Structure 1
Amino acid sequence: MDTGIKIFSFNGKMKVLHLSWMAFFITFVVWFNFAPLLGVVQETLGLTAAEIKTLLILNVALTIPARVIIGMLTDRFGPRLTYAVLLAVFSLPCFAFAFAQNFETAALARFLLGGIGAGFVIGIRMVSEWFPANELGTAEGIYGGWGNFGSAAAAMSLPAITLLIGGPEAWRYAVALTGALSLVFSVIWYLNVTDTPKGSTYFKPKKSGAMEVTSKGDLLFLLVMKLPMYGALALLTWKLSPNGVALLSETVTWVAYAGLVLLYLLEAAKTIEINKGLFSADVPEMHRYPFKQVAVLNVLYFATFGSELAVVSMLPLFFAETFNLDMVYAGLLASAYAFMNLASRPGGGWLSDKFGRKKTLIILTAGLALGYGLMAMIDSSWPLFLAVAAAMACSFFVQAGEGAVFATVPLIKRRLTGQIAGMTGAYGNVGAVVYLTALSMVSYQAFFLIIAATALVGLAALFLLEEPKGHMAEVKEDGSVELINVG
């Protein structure tokens, strides 16, 4: 019996875990290969400050819908094929960005590259197939934490690679190298993993195209929970409009808004069609799952991963301005926040396995709210080491909270794990868009307090969460029912 998590093993489920975090790591290297080279890209392509800001916005725009769509594809076709295709396909816009000669090509490539940020949800389903409930939080935490470190690895390695190659065009080869890595690993991944351990069943949704729910009330709840995702895309559109960086004209902006309304109505119609059986018969008790579980986790990931993405973007500038530091030094200090991912996220998953999902989430979310409350108090009178320590302590609660969220996601409904992970992951990006928009309008102190306030909303929502226990039921192709232990 293959029990326990043996970090230095590369056999069985551990081989799958290691290959999963490596795939996720590569997606984040590719997704964040622009920020560390921002200055030299601006110089080579002759971009304005507004155009650079636009590229940063476009880099995250597609990730919100992509996570939902990739979640559906993962449940339908399995993580082995889905991750391989994603890594190969998104190497193409990476190459396009590397050799872009103008702003328009670079903008389109960065927009498309936002889709690679959806890779995260594929591994969540893969890991849940290979690890039992009592090890799942730790395994998902390792997957998320070590994979997430890809953004920090890109920041540390790509400038060095650019310098090593040398010359004004060297950044292009550094970026292209990340695309080549993604392309090569897509083959390694496909040849070395299977969707499930030998003899296990890969459960697929009964219908494709939208998430299944198990009551009429939950159907309405799902339609309401989709609205913030479209709201975030509308916010991004506004940022690109004449009111923001003016990439889009007034007319194009209104066409985009109308398109988002139309897309929501089409998605709502598809969701109702997929779930129309609820209006003629009740779902048997053993096959039900409460959608409120998904909604609570969405809100928590909004506050945890949403704030991480936002804070990583602004922390170097915050330290530089507050303590009058050189930007390079401020960036090094701020990187301590991202470094915490290596241990914090697995730590949050381990705590969930050990002490229970709900209790762990309550403690970590309360710590997150207090942490951001403390960061709101930082000013130039603080000793610098204390400010960095406060940021790192806050970072622990943020990233451990992410680990605890995804220790719970795979325990709701096995055949829908990709879609649930996709929606929850998308909410993290929604949070980042909302927080960064708020940052453009308020002071740093108010920004941190806004995050703390949303964490308190998450804390209140947590009391609606039901601790996963007992078994969840899935139907095999032969009609027999399999009970999967959830703790």
Structure 2
Amino acid sequence: MEVTSKATRIRLFSIGTPQMRAFHMSWFAFFLCFFAWFGIAPLMKIVRDEMALTQSQIGWLVIGSVAITVVARLLIGWLCDRIGPRRAYTWLLIVGSLPVMGIGLAQDFQTFLVFRLLIGIIGASFVITQYHTSVMFAPNVVGTANATTAGWGNLGGGVTQLVMPIVLGILTVGAYIPFTNIQFLPGLGLSDAAGWRAAMVIAGAMCALVGVAYYFLTQDAPEGNYRELRAAGKLPPKQSVKGSFARAAQDPRVWALFVIYGACFGIELTVNNVLALYFIDYFDFFASMTAVQAVQWAGAAAMLFGLMNVFARTLGGALGDVFGRRWGLSGRVRWLFIALFFEGLALMLFSQMPVLAMAIPALIVFSLFVQMSEGATYSVVPFINKKALGSVAGIVGAGGNAGAVAAGFLFRGAIPWPTAFLVIGALVTVTAFLAFAVRFDSQTEIEARTALDAALADRRAGLAAGGVEPAEAAG
């Protein structure tokens, strides 16, 4: 599906164009989805104590939280091609908010697992975010745009590690300044059991509100919504979208990226799910704390992993653009290999850290490379098959969750969690070599270079005209 009037640069502090409104709304919607998706993760010590969960049951919850997202991501990409990202995001946020709020009804492991499974639907938000920015931005900046919106969205998974324990504290015994014993807000006096349930209702309500806002503040493409563009004959009819998934699924490069994304984003999902509990269970630093204090301190430490999303994923996509300008599409692939290889090495290093003071710096290095790998992956995705962009993004995105499901089985109690991280790191290092299976023929390289040159020419023309690009003026 070819879309015109794409922006050739990112005006970060602007919301005056359709491209930049989509940019900011898509990352913020994704941020809230990630916040809600992993909102329960830093509170799991409270839930575990209340429901007397076993290590095996914790493992099944880790798996369940990401399992349904595999299917949801496969379907949502096709849905974006068919009805457009605006309506797809609106419905996903509103429908996905229901299990987020509903998980508070759980009183036992079985019911909790069902809701944890259903919450995973909102993980499909990633595909819509990547789709929407791919439609809105030109080849010279699409890698950076994709990486930035995804990275800032992923940041929600880190912020929730800090904020949800604070919300729990406010609702119960009081909130403490991170890494101190200084209380800065008194508690409302709810029990721990009522507190985590109320916190999840707050997270779900925010998702629903942003779903409504997304419908009214964005449009599908630079020139309008898909429904109007199809009526005007500027886009192919819905019926032509039916074969897009089949075209994407028949391309072996898509499945190579599926596995690669499982080795980076899938591992990030797994770490988001288990990191707070890992700190509490494997480091003596937390042994003398009360449950609420341990949750707040461990959540603050776990937040550092997600905090790197502020810039690391953007850096991965930007370096993909740099490598692409220098060496073409094959350059983007080379950078993907480098980032993924060092991600695996960094995770193995983190797994062997015996004390918290050593583990946190190693965690930050690992976080940098895992998120740069994600940005590097989606600097390649827009060039695989432009006529099936949504389906390609959906399949690759589903790979992230498939990787998280596979990794989750290592956390069911059969082996110590440090050993699980070591094994995963080794597998990621080996998987990096799969990047070289993603190849482009000479014709595709020429077309990509031509499109890049045209985008750069548009940008230069816009700058010469006083900073208004032709693409943005058309919006």
Give the alignment's TM-score, normalised by structure 2.
Answer: 0.75
Report the counterpart of residue 427 of structure 1 in structure 2: 399
1:409 aligns with 2:409: no
Q: What is aligned with 1:459? A: 433
Per the alignment, residue 139 of structure 2 pairs with: 133
| SS of equivalent residue, structure 1 residue 33 | coil
Of 310, 318, 338 in structure 1, the residue corresponding to residue 306 of structure 2 is 338
* Aligned-partner Cα distance in 2 for 1:25–1:186: 12
Given that residues 162 and 300 in structure 2 are in contact (C-alpha distance below 8 angstroms), is that contact kept between their aligned partners in structure 1? no
Partner of 1:235: none
Structure 1 Cα separation of the partners of residues 213 and 420 of structure 2: 46
Of residues 195, 198, 219, the one that matches 2:223 is 198
1:176 to 179, 188, 201: 201
Aligned in 2, Cα 1:450/1:20: closer, same or farther, shift over 3 Å? closer
2:266 is equivalent to residue 306 of structure 1 = yes
1:185 aligned partner:
210
Aligned to 1:297: 257
State the partner residue of 2:459.
none
Provide the residue aligned with 2:318 in structure 1: 350
- Partner Cα separation in structure 1 for residue 164 and residue 282 of structure 2: 28
C-alpha separation between the residues in 2 aligned to 1:24 and 1:374? 27
Separation of aligned partners in 1, 2:316 and 2:390 = 21
* CA drift at 1:436: 2.8
- Corresponding pairs, count: 403
Is the CA contact 2:349–2:362 (under 8 Å) kept in the aligned structure 1?
Answer: no
CA 1:367–1:448 in 2, change beyond 3 Å: closer, same or farther?
Answer: farther
Asked if the contact 1:411–1:486 (Cα under 8 Å) also holds between the matched residues in 2, the reply is no
The answer to whether the 8 A contact 2:59-2:411 is kept is no
Distance, in Å, in 1 between the alignment partners of 2:379 and 2:246 is: 21
Question: Aligned pair in 2 of structure 1 residues 99, 447: CA closer, same or farther (>3 Å)?
Answer: closer
Q: Tell me if the contact between 1:471 and 1:484 (Cα under 8 Å) persists in the aligned partners.
A: no
Distance 2:112 2:243 in 1: 31
C-alpha distance in 2 between matches for 1:197 and 1:182: 25
Q: What is the root-mean-square deviation of aligned Cα atoms in Å?
A: 3.2
CA distance in 1, matches of 2:452, 2:314: 27
* Aligned counterpart in structure 1 of residue 155 of structure 2, from 125, 149, 174: 149
Unaligned ranges ≥5, structure 1: 223-290, 473-481
1:98 aligns with 2:72: no
Partners of 1:88 and 1:310 in 2: CA distance? 25
Other structure's SS at 2:221 match: coil
Per-residue CA deviations over 1:366-408 (Å, capped at 9, x if unaligned) read 3443443354356878785554333322221211110111122
Partner of 1:228: none
**C-alpha contact (below 8 Å) 1:5/1:135 kept by paired residues:** yes
Q: For the residues of structure 1 that align with 2:357 and 2:108, how far apart are their CA atoms? A: 42
* 8 Å contact from structure 1 (residues 299, 458) kept in 2: no
Q: Which amino acid aligns with 2:215?
A: Y
Once the two structures are superposed, what CA deviation does each residue of 1:64-99 show, in whole Å capped at 9, x if it has no partner? 111101111111111111110111111222222133
Query: Kindly tell me: are residues 120 and 370 of structure 1, through their superposed partners in 2, closer, same or farther at Cα, counting changes over 3 Å?
Result: closer
Moved more, 194-203 or 320-329: 320-329
Task: Sort the Cα spacing of 1:387 and 1:67 in 2 relative to 1 into closer, same or farther, 3 A.
Answer: same
Q: Secondary structure at the match of 1:376?
A: helix
2:445 paired with 1:469: yes
1:63–1:429 contact (8 Å) kept in structure 2: yes
Secondary structure class of the residue paired with 1:340: helix
Which digits, 9 at most, give the CA deviation of each residue in 1:76-127, with x for residues without a partner?
A: 1111111101111112222221334454443322221111111110121111
- 1:108 aligns with one of 114, 118, 136: 114
Q: Distance in 2 between matches of 1:331 and 1:316?
A: 6
Q: How far apart are residue 53 of structure 1 and its match?
A: 4.4
Question: SS state of the match for residue 71, structure 2?
Answer: helix
- Pick one of 9, 13, 29 that aligns with 1:8: 13
Whole-Å separation in 1 of the counterparts to 2:396 and 2:265: 10
Quote the residue 2:369 is aligned against: 397
- The residue correspondences of 1:28-427 to structure 2 (distance < 5 A) are 28-42=34-48, 46-49=51-54, 51-165=57-171, 166=188, 167-168=190-191, 169-198=194-223, 201-202=234-235, 206-208=240-242, 211-213=245-247, 222=250, 291-316=251-276, 324-326=284-286, 328=294, 329=297, 331-356=299-324, 357-377=329-349, 385-427=357-399
1:323–1:380 CA contact under 8 A, matched in 2: no
Runs of 5+ in structure 2 lacking a partner?
A: 172-187, 288-293, 457-475
- Asked if the contact 1:375–1:445 (Cα under 8 Å) also holds between the matched residues in 2, the reply is no
* More RCO (CA 8 Å, sep 6+): 2
Distance in 1, Cα, partners of 2:240 & 2:260: 28
Q: For 1:351, give the aligned amino acid.
A: L
1:234 maps to which residue? none
Indicate the residue corresponding to 1:272 in structure 2: none
| Corresponding residue number in structure 1 for 2:31 | 25
Note the C-alpha offset of 1:486: 9.1
- Report % sequence identity: 33
- The amino acid that maps onto 1:296 is A
The CA distance in 2 between the partners of 1:88 and 1:439, in whole Å, is 31
TM-score, scaled relative to structure 1: 0.74
Match for 1:462: what amino acid?
A: F
SS in 1 for 2:378: helix
Once the two structures are TM-superposed, the CA of residue 139 in structure 1 deviates from its matched residue by 0.6
